[in-house]
Structure 1
Amino acid sequence: MDVKPHNTDIRRDLVSLLPRLRRFALVLAQNGAKADELVSKVCGQALLKAPFQDAEDRLDLRLFGAICSLWRTEIRKKKASSETVVCLHSATTSSPQLPMILSAELAAAFLLCAVEELSYREAAAVMATTEDSIAETVLAARRELAIVTESEAERRA
């Protein structure tokens, strides 16, 4: 691989992206400590690979994709080693869990498109899927959020 001259300092870019990266990792991991671990690993990898990366690539998309890939790899490892996967909606006293309404996949697609304002094409690249799949996932997330909003409104009335 050729080492390319790097005009910008990736560390500065990483610092500015940290809140967005952590928010995305929290949506996937649904646990603060696990999210921090994912972000830390991905940032470390980005620093090591920085001299070899194309400066034209969007760093945020590359890092979102790396977080998603690392998260999926860890899920596969847990399933392969027959560990008990903790229910995403359960609350534990040892580590604070986020109260999640949506599954990790629905929440991640919704976050990328609605909050991060990525196009379906960009979100599909991050999630390693198709644009149609992202569109369907975002639609499903919006439906679930609408149901929750309706039930909250009924409870208040």
Structure 2
Amino acid sequence: MRLFLCRWPNGDCSLVLARGMADAIEQLDEVGNAEGCPMVELSAAQVHFALTDEGRLVLDGLGEDTERDIFEFCYPELGAALAVGKDVVRAVQRERDRVKDDESATEAPATELGRRTKLQLDMPTTLINRMVSHAAKRRLRSFKPRGNPS
């Protein structure tokens, strides 16, 4: 399994463990459609959680290397502002506005049904193609032609 870091257009980021980039995009669909979002593979990550009195997990911190990798890829302007201790609020706003979806990097689904589905549900293309293919195969397996074949 490989570890991917996704930078969302609103400034958030996600870590996901996946077999490859397409699998990472499909898994991130629980959060949103990550197609067109900047993603990078990380060699390692360290994340620390704390257990609250209410029985919930909250992020307690990141390993130093992990935090550095995230800031270098996701927040270079904020990292520079934090290093000098100036203009942090504006740097956060610039980071939130800096990245937009790269729709040119998004492949269209293979079928018309898939394209209509993508417009309605905004699902990753790989997931749509697999669902349409699976439904078509199931339909063909259950097909019973009328009459005798020639």
TM-score range, shorter chain: under 0.3
Larger proportion of helix: 1
Larger proportion of strand: 2
- Structure number with larger C-alpha Rg: 2
